[in-house]
Amino acid sequence: MKELSDIERYEFKKKLDEIKSCKGQHTELISLYIPPNRQISDVMNYLRNEYSQSTNIKSKTTRKNVLSAIESIMSRLKYFKKPPENGLVFFVGHKTAGANQTEMVTYVIEPPLPVPSFLYRCDSSFYTQPLEDMLAERDVYGLFLIDRRECTIGILRGKRIETIDYLTSRVPGKHGRGGQSQRRFERLIEIAAHEWFEKCGKKISEIFLGEKDLKGIFVGGPGPTKYYFVEGDYLHYEIKNKIIDIIDTGYTDESGLRELVMKISEKMHDLKISQEKRIMRRFLKEITKKKKSLAIYGEDEVRKALEMGALDTLLISEGLDKYRVKLVCDSCGYEEEKTTDKAEIKKMESNPPKCKKCGGNMVVKEKTEIVEELSRKAQEKGTKVELISTDSEEGSTLLSTFGGIAGILRFEI
């Protein structure tokens, strides 16, 4: 299956969040999924049928809203001879917009992956699950750490480390008092350890078997216990077969998971997280050079280099919650672009700033998320784009120290 790029995923997710936030007052929001191989005429027939059934809806407003939503879909569908490559998804209806107000919304989506099956649903919210499934991260690995005292189970999803479970044992230490009772004591310890490993094996197997598309498993922990555990008869055979590597870590708790991921990312170069760490390290190395540094940061600097075609790689933080807005003077037409945040945009909309040229009102004409705007510009210029998460240490450095926007140059400028 095709993998979405980070940017596609990011943009798609933002759109979905917006669609998900729409709420209808009654069951009057329509979701329609059309797979690529479905005939448009079939869909039209289906909608005509839904339309005539909806004329029976008792509540007058609901009926009116549902009928107009179906009409709207049908009038748009007329322009298609057949569904696009991946099919088509409609979300249409009257969403609530403040006190007793509704607003008609229409989303027509050409999804990044094929629509799996036909679906029509009328509800008080839009049904987005099939699209969310398309967003599911496919770069997924199981992680666990084990010794005789602790066991931590986690999952690496793309660049994200999730802690799933943490178990602790009551296996006593090996040192007793010696003599006859010492042997008995050691025997009891071994029984307790065996029970502990069985418990962990069961839990680990259960969690990882429930995770479809697991690409592999990494094991960590201090000392030889982890090898003993993996070789023993504790894990489900399918899980055992998925183990890629066993690595020494200093810890068996949550911090051990991060330690494990750090170590595997150095060895496994095709992991998403490895790629991110690699590029951030290159940037940090460049930035500390006193001479001939190819690293730049800050929006203005990066924009300038981008315009010049001098930027090799754009580094942009997922955590950047900013917009690029275009303001146009409503009397002389003077235009201005600026980067700002949501709160500031609200302010500008209710209290427009004055035009530099004529003193008229500057009206917000377009607003685009900065991540989207800059990555599009970069793509036009043939600049590589790296969307950097805030999960890794390097990633949060990009946001906190460098303002979330940085780059590596093709040549010195």
Q: Which of 118, 360, 381, 410 binds Zn ion (CB under 5 A)?
A: 360
Q: Which stretch binds Zn ion (CB under 5 A): 91-99, 213-221, 330-338, 395-403?
A: 330-338
- Return the amino acid letter for 357: K
191 binds Zn ion (CB under 5 A): no
353 binds Zn ion (CB under 5 A): no
CA–CA dist 397, 260 (Å, integer): 20
Residues 367/324, Cβ–Cβ less than 8 Å? yes
Q: Which stretch binds Zn ion (CB under 5 A): 93-101, 102-110, 356-364, 373-381?
A: 356-364
Q: Which stretch binds Zn ion (CB under 5 A): 66-74, 146-154, 308-316, 348-356?
A: 348-356
Q: Is 99 helix (H, G, I), strand (E, B) or coil?
A: coil
- Best CA proximity match to 235, nearest among 214, 211, 208, 264: 208
CB of 334 to Zn ion, least distance (A): 4
Binding string, 276-315, against Zn ion, x = CB under 5 A? ----------------------------------------
Q: Which of 19, 69, 143, 329 binds Zn ion (CB under 5 A)?
A: 329
352 binds Zn ion (CB under 5 A): no
| CB nearer Zn ion, residue 32 or residue 362 | 362
Q: Which of 27, 334, 390, 410 binds Zn ion (CB under 5 A)?
A: 334
327 binds Zn ion (CB under 5 A): no
Q: Which of 136, 308, 358, 413 binds Zn ion (CB under 5 A)?
A: 358
CB of 365 to Zn ion, least distance (A): 13
408 binds Zn ion (CB under 5 A): no
CB of 355 to Zn ion, least distance (A): 3
Q: What number of other Cβ atoms are within 10 A of residue 329's Cβ?
A: 21
Q: Which stretch binds Zn ion (CB under 5 A): 118-126, 144-152, 179-187, 327-335?
A: 327-335
Residues 28/69, Cβ–Cβ less than 8 Å? yes
Q: Which stretch binds Zn ion (CB under 5 A): 38-46, 57-65, 168-176, 355-363?
A: 355-363
**Distant-in-sequence, close-in-space partners of 389: CB < 8 Å, separation ≥ 6:** 158, 159, 160, 276, 318, 395
267 binds Zn ion (CB under 5 A): no
The tokens describing 404, both together, are 């979330």
| CB nearer Zn ion, residue 250 or residue 359 | 359
CB of 353 to Zn ion, least distance (A): 11
CA–CA dist 271, 253 (Å, integer): 22
CB of 362 to Zn ion, least distance (A): 8
Residues 153/144, Cβ–Cβ less than 8 Å? yes
CB of 356 to Zn ion, least distance (A): 7
348 binds Zn ion (CB under 5 A): no
Residues 298/402, Cβ–Cβ less than 8 Å? yes
354 binds Zn ion (CB under 5 A): no
Residues in the chain: 413
Q: Is 32 helix (H, G, I), strand (E, B) or coil?
A: strand
Residues 146/252, Cβ–Cβ less than 8 Å? yes
| DSSP 8-state class, residue 361 | B
- Best CA proximity match to 363, nearest among 319, 323, 325: 325
Q: Which stretch binds Zn ion (CB under 5 A): 34-42, 228-236, 302-310, 322-330?
A: 322-330
CB of 336 to Zn ion, least distance (A): 10
| CB nearer Zn ion, residue 336 or residue 372 | 336
Distance (Å) of CA 173 to CA 57, 148, 224: 71, 9, 15
**Distant-in-sequence, close-in-space partners of 365: CB < 8 Å, separation ≥ 6:** 325, 326, 327, 328
CA–CA dist 90, 237 (Å, integer): 44
Q: Where are the beta strands (DSSP E) in 227-276?
A: 243-248
Q: Which residues of this chain interact with Zn ion, rule CB under 5 A?
A: 329, 332, 334, 355, 357-358, 360
